[in-house]
Structure 1
């Protein structure tokens, strides 16, 4: 892994990777062992960010721990593939996930046609034409620490199409980070599709005002294999903004659940722009195919003003971080004032609320199930688990 790539601010990388690592079940001791040996952000040289994370992934891959290896390769390409070494790490993350998924017929890879070319996604629980249920145990490995006693219970419904859970991460999240969750959805009565933000991973679309059209395109692609008229979007961070846009025009979206999503002021407040971390600005510029100095002007049309927010007529659930360094608190206030139906949970933490990830995971899933009318026993169990975490 050689060559040159633009160097990120190393202190910012170490700061902001924590939420990503935590969301993938990488413990402080584990990520600390990697970060302690990182001395620069060169393109794959000894002691570089990408080399240290890749070497840790290599060890796990040799041990046959493919899901865990993929998580480390994903951290190696963080925040985006700016050079050859990060591009290689991203490809390895995809490759080890595909090898793991081959043992689980409950997961399938699909492609969504778009004007920019096919958008790859992972899906589960689709009817007619999908693989059958079954597959070996995952050995306790789950996405982001989600517990799953019945990982092999995924797969298509033989009776009728299921309501759809459409999942997407933020500006640095590969679909492979979240796709193992698809194997759990059958027990909640849902089918699922996991995709990526425009410009991330295998999504060739640019991140611009056309980006919200991605969600309806995904629904069109699986309309004959899921009950897309009952679609619920679990859209984290910047994907949440796209989901709100899409909900304004596509009645198939019946609810939106997000965490740390930008609404209006993030895109328009120049004073706030001066405080946004460089790593975030550079990543956004990469996705928007522009430069850091122009990116906020390019993305300004994605701002949702109060009038448009008031027209969102589906329930919205949001996890916000009280000390978020990326999303201004005024954006959460706008949602409070403007949305017709908002369920809000605020954590006293920085962006991504890494100290509260188990609570965020449970709360977002529980909120989706409340919106979709999911199985009562599962909702009660998740509610009890969440209350137990809150008491600790």
Structure 2
């Protein structure tokens, strides 16, 4: 009788750490799983920094600022161009990591994450010095007519960059690169849901030869984030995310009068007029609506169509939408992966249910499939009005709404 085979134990997941002053630092505040949204399973764990460790990143950035500020533009440009070369060499690896942690297919990650990052690095390296040079200013006040006036750009100091989960590589790297090009030191806090992608940016710049302390990338518990934003050692905050969180960031930053840049969500409409090329409009709007599974601040979230072309246009949109292949990007060729977070799918479901209860018609999609992952089908609703949450709230979802207009630009009637 053959001896029984030993039962394999659970596979230990790799643990990823924050980067402070070009060194990985194991967090002392526990760990958080990194989850693949296509399967719902963890593929890694991320250690979380405690308050003292996060504070050490700010101290490192403060200490590194004088030398980085004094560095000539060509020295900063050299780091950006080296980072660009690292991204080129690791492009497929980065795209696959985005696919695994955020959910968009790798081909799409190349298009909307990697390529924009490469363009930003090159643009900043080539043009930052010209963009930030002194500008002569003509005096507008008689008392200053004899003065030599100019507008001079100076770096702020330590910049906190807080970035979202929907474009975890492209948005994060572009924000970091812009601050670095201007002579600031940077602390990046990526979104918890896509922390592994964000931490990879530290590795890119370390390989590019960035000096110690100029860039740190932190993974922290959500409860620690307000204290980080309120830290008096910050000279500027750049936040990309939801309006609700943006309000909290602004309120916290106000305690120290820390200047902020907020790039928040939107509710972007498209308008289709009677003389539009309907085939082209349908293809463009479907792409603009469902790229990144609709999780884009500038995606097409609602469409207003003139009455006389509404029906043929809707038919084309439904046809194009039904062509989209949805599934696990790692399992085969798909155009659309899952939503990044389970709570995002819940929001989508609530918005669709609210619209249907108030009279909207589901032309395609409209119900989540069973099985693992946070999938929701691309959905088209008609017969909507502005009493519905789906027409007023930004869910970062893959559900698009259509209203017809009777005689543009008069008051719209419901389709």
TM-score (norm: length of structure 2): 0.28
Between structures 1 and 2, the one with greater strand share: 2
Q: Which has the higher contact order (CA 8 A, sep 6+)?
A: 2
Structure whose alpha-carbon radius of gyration is higher: 2
TM-score (norm: length of structure 1): 0.29
